[in-house]
Structure 1
Amino acid sequence: MSLGYLDEAYGVLKRIADTQEDNIRAAGRIFADAISAGGLVHLFGAGHSRMGVEEIFPRIGSIVGYHPIVELSLSYYTNVLGTMGLAQSLFLERVDGFGECLLANYEFGEHDAAMVISSTGINNVPVEVALGLKARGLPLVAITSLAHSTTVDSRHPSGKHLYEVADVVVDNCSPAGDAVVHVEGCEYPVGPTSTLGTVTVAHSINEVLATELVARGTPPVVLGSPHFSDQEAAKRNLAEYYAAYRERTRRV
């Protein structure tokens, strides 16, 4: 018997490859426009979607120019053990006004762009953050599950889903409900795929971004792996990476 999750996971990746390349390239070009002009690409995700932000920056292979916005109370880091704050995070993600409170902490520049990650695309805070970024004039990319978002009502007072706010929407190709393996005797399926799809999309966008920046004559500062024997080179790379990040984010 083959493992059902591996089959389903492969299916998600294949759907992304078959259907999302144009959207991924469009997102990468938007980010390249921002970073090559000296701007930032602001990243937001709540709950498990913040994992997509963390995979983009800071990460081996990541590019200076990203600015992650990860709110501790909307993550699962509030408790070290146990449920890791799941109940609190689920509650806060549905609170009107919280998204604008988050955005009020930052200064957004004329060359900036943004990406909001939310697989369901229906909760108040991600939609509010997306609307707030658009109101500030930022080109907006969304990573979401269209299979889920198009079949469920939005919780935001406007009735809008994340995919209805963004300029470019990249589908993570995760099915409605996220989990994909039905095990006899279990009431609900196991094996979520949204993080797999989201991270695949995010790194694909990053590839396009790097390619675009090189083509435009503004090659990016990339974080290399420090896990090799040449530690002096790794230290120099890390110092360059953080110096470039501090310089670019100084006005935020």
Structure 2
Amino acid sequence: MSYTQTYLQKCQGLLETVAQQEKNIQRVATIFAKSILAGRMVHVFGSGHSRIMVEEMWPRYGSFPGFNPIVELSLTFHNLVVGANGQRQAMFLENIPGLATQILRNFDLSDVDSALIISSSGCNVVPIEMAELFQQKGIKTVGIISKLHSEASTSKRPDGHKLQDFCDIVLDSGAPVGDAMVHIENLDTPVAPGSTVGSCMLINCIKAELANLLTQAGHPPKVLTAGAVIGAERATELFQAAYDEHAHRISRMYKKVGIPSYVSEENQ
């Protein structure tokens, strides 16, 4: 069997793991639908490469407003690898206690909101604290982890808590311990990770179930759609409408945030 076939076979296993979680995926979609139909948002967060899943949810083709993608550049902008804004700094910062509090201080959160946090190991401090803070505010919180990898990993928090300890529902990407899935002859370390594949499948299953619930409720989502599918004019119309709806939703996250002022009082 070629290494390509080996990787694809491993991905088939990820597909089966995701399929086994259909009921929980539908439960997640129901939670998110309640937030979105109430005019609020689903906060989506991931540090490091988990940022990929945040942007997979929104905004991209086949996606729709209702999500607040929290992408903290200090934790995710590491493509320079070394030097300023390098990988070492990002990996250090994602284990700094209190950073999650500073990030969420920017938003006027409500228990009508919901949250989705992605962390393959579930062991880094910032994602764990994010979930803990959301839960403290009565916000339904969903986690995506790699179950086997998380179980084999040690939390960076002194109390040993992991992301799943602060989530109402936990979904499993199906990736193995260490994430990488292919063993190469004469190479002692595996290559080709699987958590992104499994997690993106979970994201898009949630998205599809959620789109159905919103449509059934009489508020079909404004989906970012290619002109090749619906024509350039309709595509442009949808993009503009979707971005505007996002602006209307996100404005509520800042309207009365933090210390009151005469401006916030006028907007009550």
- How far does residue 218 in structure 1 lie from its aligned partner after superposition? 2.2
1:215 aligns with 2:216: yes
TM superposition score normalised by structure 2: 0.88
Unaligned runs of 5+ in 2: 254-268
Change (3 A) 1:229 1:201: closer
- SS of corresponding position for 1:150: helix
Residues 93-242 of structure 1: pairs in structure 2 closer than 5 A: 93-227=94-228, 230-242=231-243
Given the two structures, how large is their TM-score scaled by the length of structure 1? 0.94
Q: Could you say what secondary structure the match of 2:152 adopts?
A: coil
Q: What residue is the counterpart of 2:266 in the other structure?
A: none
Matches of 2:49 and 2:83, distance apart in 1: 16
Of residues 46-55 and 101-110 in structure 1, the stretch that sits farther from structure 2 once superposed is 101-110
Q: Which has the larger radius of gyration?
A: 2
Superposition misfits of 4+ residues, deviation over 6 angstroms:
80-84
CA contact (8 A) 1:128 1:156 kept: no
Residue number in structure 2 paired with 1:10: 12
Q: Which amino acid aligns with 2:147?
A: L
List per-residue Cα deviations over 1:152-189 (Å, max 9, x = no partner): 22112332111111001111111111001111111210
CA RMSD, Structure 1 to Structure 2 (Å): 1.9
CA deviations 1:77-108 (Å, max 9, x no partner) are 56389997221111111111111111111111
Cα offsets for 1:96-122 (capped at 9, x unmatched): 111111111111123110010001000
| Contact 1:139 1:167 (C-alpha < 8 Å) held by counterparts | yes
Identical-residue share of aligned pairs (%): 40
Gaps of 5+ in 1: none
Once the two structures are TM-superposed, the CA of residue 227 in structure 1 deviates from its matched residue by 4.7
2-side partners of 1:155 and 1:82: how far apart? 25
Partner Cα separation in structure 1 for residue 125 and residue 29 of structure 2: 26
Report the AA paired with residue 134 of structure 1: Q
Cα separation, 2, equivalents of 1:23 and 1:83: 41
Q: Report SS of the residue matched to 2:202.
A: helix
Q: Deviations over 1:193-220 (max 9, x none)?
A: 0000110000000111111111222222
Moved more, 126-135 or 84-93: 84-93
SS of corresponding position for 1:115: strand
Q: Partner of 2:257 in structure 1?
A: none
- Number of aligned residue pairs: 251
Instruction: Give distance in 2, aligned partners of 1:234 and 1:69.
Output: 26
Counterpart CA distance in 1 for 2:203 and 2:85 is 25
Larger CA deviation: 84-93 vs 30-39: 84-93
Contact kept, 8 Å, 1:49 with 1:118, in 2: the verdict is: yes
> Which residue is 2:61 aligned to?
60
